[in-house]
Amino acid sequence: MPVEKGSSIVKLSLPSVSLGSWIYYGATLTSWIAGGKERLFLSSKAALDGSKAIRGGIPICWPNFGPPPSADDETLVYHSKLAQHGFARNQTWTLDSVVMDRPEGVSVRFTLDPTPSIISIFPYPFHLSYVVTLTKHELSTDLHVVNPSAKDSLLAAAQTVSDAVTSALPTAVTGSESKPQDKGLRFQTLFHTYLAVSDSSTVKAQGLRSGLNYVDKIKGGSKEVWEGGDLKFDQAVDRVYYGKGKDDIVLVDGQDKLTVHSVEMPDITTWNPAEGAAKIADMEEGGEKRYVCLEPGRVDGHHTLQPGQELLMQQVLRIE
Ligand SMILES: O=P(O)(O)OC[C@H]1O[C@H](O)[C@H](O)[C@@H](O)[C@@H]1O
């Protein structure tokens, strides 16, 4: 059966031995087997019981990526109090529907809407719809962010949230006339993709254009300009490259090539902590050798959607 739904996990499979497993918690994909190999890294110490974000697979960072922003920007006051990478990776998503169930491809949709506990930390109406599709050589993850408006079919849900939000907000934050949501829904988004590799010190990422601006977190956040060439992971790497646009990034691991394609996600983070992994409680011993993170995102500032607007962002992983 191509779509197998369990109480906390859904598995998609195709006759050609492509298999993917998603955990409802964080809507995190924890396994993708294609071309006879596991393509995603999942730490053997990852918590899979909903007690913390999953260390491995493809967690979703939303509405922030990285440490929270400063509260100096009045539209980001609530964002500034969120945990690292936002809250989407720590919520139990709803398995909404099977979008496609055919021999050539299977696809399911998860959704996340404001709950009372989310509203208490992030009082904005929103609707997230996450469609994951498995075909023989590709895995597609599509995140659709909606700022509901009175005009669309989410009217009722939006109004409920809006009322709850309005009554929950202190006047000091809202002022007597304006509410935070009046300034729109603001967010960053990133797919925190852990790609399994044979040995991180020998793999390389190709396709980063020379001249790209990047921030090097290993060098304390210094702003750099990429000289071009291959990015290697033979030492600790933690960089955010901005403005790659639609360029594909290819991970080369010996004879194996995996392409990371993205749409509306113009930035990419590259991360492997090398020996620093020993300090990560839920990282398995030696785990840093077994993965590199290539993380497409929209993280150059916070994107804004006004009521009634939406944005569809996509990552496609393809084995060659
Ligand atoms: O430990 P986490 O919160 O999951 O973050 C893991 C990593 O995520 C991103 O790749 C950041 O660029 C890194 O600085 C961070 O260490």
- Confirm whether the ipTM is greater than 0.95: yes
Residue 264: closest CA among 311, 216, 231, 207? 311
Band (313; pLDDT cuts 50, 70, 90)? very high
Residue 66 CA to ligand 1 center (angstroms) comes to 7
Over 80: is that where the pLDDT of 103 sits? yes
The residues, ordered by sequence, that sit 6+ positions from 30 with a Cβ below 8 Å of its Cβ are 9, 21, 22, 23, 40, 42, 46, 48, 54, 56, 57
- Nearest Cα residue to atom 8 of ligand 1: 66
Is 290 annotated in a binding site? The answer is no
**Could you give the residue numbers annotated as active site?**
192, 295
Hey, what CATH topology would domain 3-198+273-319 get?
Beta-galactosidase; Chain A, domain 5 (2.70.98)
Band (15; pLDDT cuts 50, 70, 90)? confident
Instruction: Pick the atom of ligand 1 nearest to 239's CA.
Output: 12
Is 188 annotated in a binding site? The answer is no
**Which pLDDT does position 162 carry in this prediction?**
59
Q: CA-to-CA distance for 65 and 296, rounded, in angstroms?
A: 11
**Which pLDDT does position 248 carry in this prediction?**
98
**Whole-number Cα distances in Å, 82 to 78, 90, 182, 299, 320:** 7, 11, 20, 16, 38
**147-174 pLDDT, tens digit each:** 998 655 444 555 555 556 555 554 444 4
Is 55 annotated in a binding site? The answer is yes
Answer whether 18's CB lies under 8 Å from 11's CB: no
Domain ranges for the chain, please list them: 3-198+273-319
Residue 298: closest CA among 143, 164, 189? 189
Phi then psi dihedrals of residue 102, to 5 deg: -135, 160
